[in-house]
A and B are shown apart, each in its own frame.
Chain A
Amino acid sequence: METSSVADYQIPDELLYTQEDEWVRREGDEVLIGVTDFAQNQLGDIVFVELPEVGGTTEAGAPFGTIESVKAVSDLFAPLTGEVVAINEALEDQPEQVNESCYTDGWLIRLRPGDPEELEGLLDATTYKQSVSDRDQ
């Protein structure tokens, strides 16, 4: 395994990102949210994901669930305020999907954002790449 560099992490150009290593994909007036390749790599083997109830709400910057690796429990921070319209139930039995396909099958929640302006505050791929590069050792 070679030393990590930004080039080793997938950071799709079409997504938006947060400093807490989440990605946001716009799909009409809903968004899909997950954790990035850098995040899943840092966490290690994911063994448990705790997600909010469908119909619940999220508040930008506040925890909306937890993601657990073998060794540790980490909070998931909501990138946006909104209503949870769907959660990825497959993660209950297959939490490792987050490691294996964090941008597709490993998605976490689908949200209807309450404040479209909040999307402006998210990072684009270039900015996120820099953030990863700054933090990666």
Chain B
Amino acid sequence: MADGAGVPRQDEAGALRRTALHATHAELGARLVPFAGYEMPVQYSSIKEEHEAVRERAGLFDVSHMGQVQLRGKRAIAAAEELVTCPVSTLAVGQARYGLLLDESGGCIDDVMLTRVADDALFFCVNASNVEPARDWIRERAGANVKVEDRSSATSLLALQGPSARTILASITAEETPLPKRFRVARCDVAGLRVLVSGTGYTGSPGFEIYTANKDAVGLWEALAAAGEDHGLLPAGLGARDTLRLEAALPLYGHELGRDTDPFEAGLDRFVKPLDSRFIGADALTERANAKDPRRLVGFEMIGRGIARADYEIVVDGDVVGRVTSGAPSPTLGKSIGLGYVPRSMSEVGTRIDVRVRKNDVEARIVETPFL
């Protein structure tokens, strides 16, 4: 599981923090585990069951532990343009886009979803494990005429994901505030609550992420759960969140991404604007892109008997050539899959590799991603 890379956030007493939905999770019988300084549900019934619910019907996640860093002011857009790899000035109001925050050496500080909420305001949704480093980085480099605000503690975030997500959410959304399309956001009236609905997600299935004030989180959850009952909606935890995003080959910071990886290695070229644009890390990326045989992230499936896990070695002709970054049995595919880094020269789809599973080298094959 995502093990919350980075310093865990805890309160002064060192105790784990809780989202506004903690009591709800406990009542549902969730297994709660520490993650990024929070006590979070890893599963309610079973990871497989929750995963299948998302693929076939819908699942409801509490992802309130994630962070939101807001930029406001005349220079907010220009400042963000220099901080991330994706284009910002072309983002329409109400539009969301994926990008990476890089340091000067081109390494990844975090992968983020950027949302423009006004002409002069946008926010970054950042990984739970990275809120402090990302916020501090942004604050230090945003410059004058930009107000940087960490809204993480004030914001709850629910994700409703699956083919039935739109139907379920629409059934409790006021007609006057229609739901947004993919990668768009809208302020909606959902079950009488004013929320920000985002046509985004991290599962590979269609769905929404819904930002709300902490005081409305329980009301929102209960309204969604009730509306989803006839559709077979299940509460889903971080365990299923990980297997779902793995099937969709979505990177996870701390596994596929880190300070020592650049977006090109991770196969995220399409989220990087031209390198002659001015953004932090652009120069370094130009150099890194010229490397002789850089690493490349690949997806693979196990052929032999064994499950690949993070940090297992990847072997070709007896030599260790790379490392697994994430791996698990895929509930939808019925086989074990994984992501890992190999030299670009060995990264072609169809290449036979071995994964060192404890004492055995187990056969695997590089495949197209996403896996579904």
Contacts and interface: CB of A to CB of B under 8 A. Distances in A.
Nearest to B243: A70
A7 interface: no
Interface in A69-107: 70-73, 92
B1 A68 contact: no
14 contacts: A1-B44, A3-B29, A44-B47, A47-B307, A48-B305, A48-B329, A50-B358, A66-B358, A70-B47, A70-B328, A70-B329, A71-B47, A72-B1, A92-B305
Contact of B307 (A1, A3, A45, A48): A48
A70 B247 CA distance: 13
Interface of A: 1-3, 44-45, 47-48, 50, 66, 68, 70-73, 92
Nearest to B238: A71
Contact of B329 (A47, A50, A66): A47
A1 B50 CA distance: 14
A1 B45 contact: yes
A71 B329 contact: no
A92 B305 CA distance: 9
B29 A45 contact: no
A43 to B, nearest CB: 11
A71 B33 CA distance: 13
Contact of B239 (A3, A47, A70, A92): A70
Contacts of B305: 48, 92
B48 interface: yes
Contacts of A73: 307, 309
Nearest to A92: B305
The secondary structure that dominates the B interface is: loop
A68 B336 CA distance: 12
Contacts of A48: 305-307, 329
Contacts of A92: 305
B106 to A, nearest CB: 32
B307 A44 contact: no
Which of A2, A3, A48 counts the most B-chain CB atoms under 10 A from its CB? A48
Given A2-B29, A70-B329, A73-B309, A45 B46 contact: yes
B324 to A, nearest CB: 13
A46 B11 CA distance: 35
A44 B306 contact: no
A94 to B, nearest CB: 12
Given A47-B336, A70-B328, A71-B328, 18 more contacts: A1-B29, A1-B44, A3-B29, A44-B43, A44-B46, A45-B47, A45-B48, A47-B307, A48-B305, A48-B306, A48-B329, A68-B307, A70-B47, A71-B42, A71-B47, A72-B1, A73-B307, A92-B305
Interface in B238-255: 239, 242-243
A72 B44 CA distance: 17
B28 interface: yes
A13 to B, nearest CB: 27
Interface string B313-328: 0000000000000001
Contacts of B48: 45, 70
